Structure 1
Amino acid sequence: MRKATLKIPPSLCLKCRGGKLLCGLTYCPIAVNLMTKSALKRTDRVRRISGSSPPTVFVGRYGYPKINVYPSSPPKSGDTSIYETSSRWLDLPLEEFLSMRLSLLRGSMPVEVGRAADPDYLFQTIQLMALSNKPVEVDIDLEKPLNVSEVLLDEHASPMGPSSPMKSLVADVEGIPKEIERVYYDTDFKAAPAMQDLYKRGIEVDKISRVLSIGALGEKKSRKIVPTRWSITAADKNISDFIVDQIKDFPTIDKFLAFKREVPGNLFMAILTPSNWIYEWGESWFPGSTWNQWGSQAEVEIDHEGYNGRTTYPDIGGCYYSTRLAVAEHFRRIGRSGGAITWREIYPSFNLPVGVWFVRENMRRLFLQKPAEFDSIDEALRYLEPNMKVPVRKWISGSYVYPTLRYNNLDRFFDLK
């Protein structure tokens, strides 16, 4: 089947000039192309990457258990920390974010996942680089020039620029936080409690997933390198498990709390419920959006868990756990417990995969808003309904939380339009 393509009339671009987004996309493709070309100029012949790594180390998954590790850097020096600080990315225009991330140039090195248990000098240098809290000056010699037409766009990981096999790496590492250094050198500390310990000590989940991916956590004999897309989900799941267990002992909220957040190409919604812990995450992808390129209608998918969680990986993917983390963090912040319905609508103008960080950070910001309070779940749904493009009945037909609450008489049932 031929992939859908977007053709924008030149006359529309002349009227818009990147400022009005008249094409309906959430970014200007011309601006992204020009900004990325500027960031990557002359790199197609470059055999050395020199710059300040934020730090960034990407771990691939193909060929597991022999995979590729990619120490990365933009071709610039200075404070590049924003390249790896997802909490700041929502404040950037999408064009600037994409250009920034696609300018991260990658040197690749094949490695067995078990190398983490007994790292040689080069791999330990990459590990220490990933642990740093400050940009790391690097010089990466490449075996052949970068292919600037090959970039990384992934459902889980953030976009990244081109790569080439690495011959050598020199890194000036400093600024490893003592909290991370302690768990790195404690080879009797299991990985799961080590992640929770880092989170309790104020280390952000992005950093924790990077430390996990490079094989820097766990008992020495069990340490393994973890592909980046797996480590992101593992960190979100592990830390949200930890918080959910905490909040189950908190008093329950006494109202239905409704939240909504609209950003270009997306609608995020949440209803917190006065009940025991119960949770669902749903996505509706419209035709022309990232994962519904050829459909004729919006496709809705919902995954859920009850009080005791779930034992299988959700079909809906890593955003299930990134949202679950945001929900759990909010309940802990207000000192209450409850259940949660969380839904997202994705429209045709949002057609690039940017990573699960986008969902996690948008849901975190959603919960910073003041909620609307209601006595019934149907009132909460009516509050959200005017913003929805998917009929509310289509949402609740696939919901787990809604009928569960109704069955348990936690709410009166009202007919919804």
Structure 2
Amino acid sequence: MLTNHTKKVIEKRVNQEPKKKILPSSGLTQNTRKPHNSLYIKEDVKKEYIEKASTFGASPPSIFIGQRGYPQINAGPLLLPERRGRTVASYDSSTHWLEKSIQEIIEMRSSLIHSKITINAKRPMGNILIEKTQEIALSSDPVEIEVLFEKPPTLKLQFDDILTPLGPSGKIKRLNITENPIVPRKVDAVVSDTDMPATEAINELYRAKISEDHITRLLSTGLLGRRRRLVPTRWSITATDDTIARELIKEIQDYQEVTEIEVYSGELLANHFEIILLPKPYAFELVEIWISESIWNQYKKKKSEDHNIKEDSPKSEKPWIGSDREDHRNRKKYSPLGGGYYAARLPVLEHLQAKQRRATAIAIREVRPDYWAPLGVWVVREAARNALKNPPKTFETLNQALRHIHTKIITPHKHWQPQLQLLKEQNQRRITDYTEIGSPFIGKC
């Protein structure tokens, strides 16, 4: 979650922009004298867009399951008013945002209305509105729907470090699906199998090339596993990343190690990655650098002091740096770096699996000032993928590789290089010492 200090930094950044900025795709006006999570409607479109209690449009498809007050949470589909067709899919698909700016992505997300009901996440079955939400979640293509709200939706734009921005929201009185959802055969088969554990279901869908966004929707809406319940979206995103990664870790254990030291570089939306692959048994480490001018520079002390450089004052010019790591053994605890750790790890494992190689991987993520508003962990995942798509630089020694990285990272290496704990470890465990531990996010599904 964003700290109060981070929210103030976002607000300050917005106040430095022109006093009013029109978000053209939604007809919304951003009043920059207010905090960055508040938006206001242009008067000439207010009645047409938001003051209607009934709205027709299409869901990308997109579902949001909240976590506040769990197990009593808000849940329901997102829809784009007065629009239909396949282009609506781009409003909730990270693969469509790779060439867009932060402002453009915020404009798209602010166009979607979150229709919601309040329900017990542990006992959702039998509620007709949840059943219709699940129908939407099953679809691979946009679904036309009509929503009658209890009262006109409230306009508010919310940011989060894991989730994509959320726009207006309103309580559902009635929800109608006006066309048949398009459900892939594999999705239908897996969802119909109520004896299949959630971890197995996620991996089977992933192997069938079902998108991660689609898998997350299915998990969130209680359509996977033996014990079916609603799962908050932010939890299901990380659970999906983690479950797929655990299966990939098992697969790469039998591969040969990479033959040389490789360094991959790339970035997305001012999230810069340097990824080192070393010819050693599998291990993964992520070092995050939030430079002082970035909104992500959080100076509050973290609970896990082992993974952080402490800053005494928010006026400090030093970066905030955190790190976490793992070896062959599956993780038992949630990473102190949050969902970004799992989002960065997955592309590395996908890359190794595609090469049929194993390696010790060290990922260095530097968040730069131009990343002025949080858009969700998809940015971390896609930034790492961007880096791994580029041709690697190869080196004979680790020192040569590190000297190269020094020229790519803005932050002086004296701040972040001491965090590279995997380079300090001398003893490697044998593969026979490893034990398998289930994902802490799935539980007994």
TM-score, reference length from structure 1: 0.87
Tell me whether 230-239 or 128-137 shows the greater mean CA deviation.
128-137
Q: Are the aligned partners of 2:291 and 2:368 in contact in 1 as well (CA < 8 Å)?
A: yes
Q: Secondary structure at the match of 1:6?
A: helix
Q: Does 1:372 align with 2:393?
A: yes
Q: Are the aligned partners of 1:298 and 1:390 in contact in 2 as well (CA < 8 Å)?
A: yes
Q: Are the aligned partners of 2:22 and 2:28 in contact in 1 as well (CA < 8 Å)?
A: no
Distance of aligned partners of 1:290 and 1:6 in 2 relative to their CA distance in 1, 3 Å threshold: closer
Aligned residue identity for 1:232: I
Q: Are the aligned partners of 1:216 and 1:223 in contact in 2 as well (CA < 8 Å)?
A: yes
Q: Are the aligned partners of 1:277 and 1:338 in contact in 2 as well (CA < 8 Å)?
A: yes
Taking the aligned partners of 2:75 and 2:380, their CA distance within structure 1 comes to: 26
Distance of aligned partners of 1:295 and 1:321 in 2 relative to their CA distance in 1, 3 Å threshold: farther
2:286 to 281, 285, 290: 281
2:144 to 134, 137, 140: 137
Distance of aligned partners of 1:126 and 1:277 in 2 relative to their CA distance in 1, 3 Å threshold: same
Give the drift of 1:287. 2.3
Give the drift of 1:6. 3.1
Q: Does 1:199 align with 2:206?
A: yes
Q: Are the aligned partners of 1:288 and 1:349 in contact in 2 as well (CA < 8 Å)?
A: no
Q: Does 1:37 align with 2:9?
A: no
Q: Are the aligned partners of 1:129 and 1:173 in contact in 2 as well (CA < 8 Å)?
A: no
Distance of aligned partners of 1:262 and 1:238 in 2 relative to their CA distance in 1, 3 Å threshold: closer
Give the drift of 1:30. 5.9
Q: Are the aligned partners of 2:290 and 2:321 in contact in 1 as well (CA < 8 Å)?
A: yes
Q: Does 1:333 align with 2:354?
A: yes
Give the drift of 1:264. 4.5
Query: 1:392 maps to which residue?
Result: 413
Equivalent residues in 2 for 1:148-167 (5 A)? 148=155, 150-167=156-173
Q: Does 1:234 align with 2:230?
A: no
Aligned residue identity for 2:409: M
Q: Secondary structure at the match of 1:74?
A: strand
Q: Number of paired residues? A: 386
Give the drift of 1:36. 4.4
Q: Are the aligned partners of 2:271 and 2:379 in contact in 1 as well (CA < 8 Å)?
A: no
Tell me whether 342-351 or 297-306 shows the greater mean CA deviation.
342-351
Taking the aligned partners of 2:416 and 2:398, their CA distance within structure 1 comes to: 13
Identity of aligned residues (%): 32
Query: 2:54 maps to which residue?
Result: 48
Q: Secondary structure at the match of 1:137?
A: strand
1:220-251 CA-to-partner distances (Å, cap 9, x unmatched) read: xx111100000000000000100111011111
Extract unaligned runs of 5+ from structure 2: 30-40, 299-313, 429-445
Distance of aligned partners of 1:275 and 1:292 in 2 relative to their CA distance in 1, 3 Å threshold: same
Query: 1:58 maps to which residue?
Result: 64
Aligned residue identity for 2:406: E
RMSD between aligned alpha carbons?
Answer: 2.1
Distance of aligned partners of 1:304 and 1:100 in 2 relative to their CA distance in 1, 3 Å threshold: same
Query: 2:191 maps to which residue?
Result: 184
Query: 2:442 maps to which residue?
Result: none
Distance of aligned partners of 1:224 and 1:33 in 2 relative to their CA distance in 1, 3 Å threshold: same
Query: 1:23 maps to which residue?
Result: none
Q: Are the aligned partners of 2:138 and 2:181 in contact in 1 as well (CA < 8 Å)?
A: no
Query: 1:353 maps to which residue?
Result: 374
Q: Are the aligned partners of 2:268 and 2:382 in contact in 1 as well (CA < 8 Å)?
A: no
Q: Are the aligned partners of 1:276 and 1:339 in contact in 2 as well (CA < 8 Å)?
A: yes
Distance of aligned partners of 1:325 and 1:158 in 2 relative to their CA distance in 1, 3 Å threshold: same
Q: Are the aligned partners of 2:283 and 2:328 in contact in 1 as well (CA < 8 Å)?
A: yes
Q: Are the aligned partners of 1:71 and 1:108 in contact in 2 as well (CA < 8 Å)?
A: yes
Extract unaligned runs of 5+ from structure 1: 14-28, 409-417
Query: 1:67 maps to which residue?
Result: 73
Q: Does 1:267 align with 2:272?
A: yes
Give the drift of 1:340. 0.5
1:22-56 CA-to-partner distances (Å, cap 9, x unmatched) read: xxxxxxx9656455435964233121231111111
Give the drift of 1:8. 6.7
2:334 to 298, 313, 331: 313
Taking the aligned partners of 1:115 and 1:177, their CA distance within structure 2 comes to: 27
Taking the aligned partners of 1:68 and 1:266, their CA distance within structure 2 comes to: 31
Taking the aligned partners of 1:375 and 1:137, their CA distance within structure 2 comes to: 57
Query: 1:411 maps to which residue?
Result: none
1:344-396 CA-to-partner distances (Å, cap 9, x unmatched) read: 11122322110000111111121111101112222111111112122223222
Taking the aligned partners of 1:263 and 1:364, their CA distance within structure 2 comes to: 9
Q: Secondary structure at the match of 1:223?
A: coil
Distance of aligned partners of 1:367 and 1:7 in 2 relative to their CA distance in 1, 3 Å threshold: closer
2:108 to 100, 108, 130: 100
Taking the aligned partners of 1:9 and 1:240, their CA distance within structure 2 comes to: 41
Tell me whether 390-399 or 210-219 shows the greater mean CA deviation.
390-399
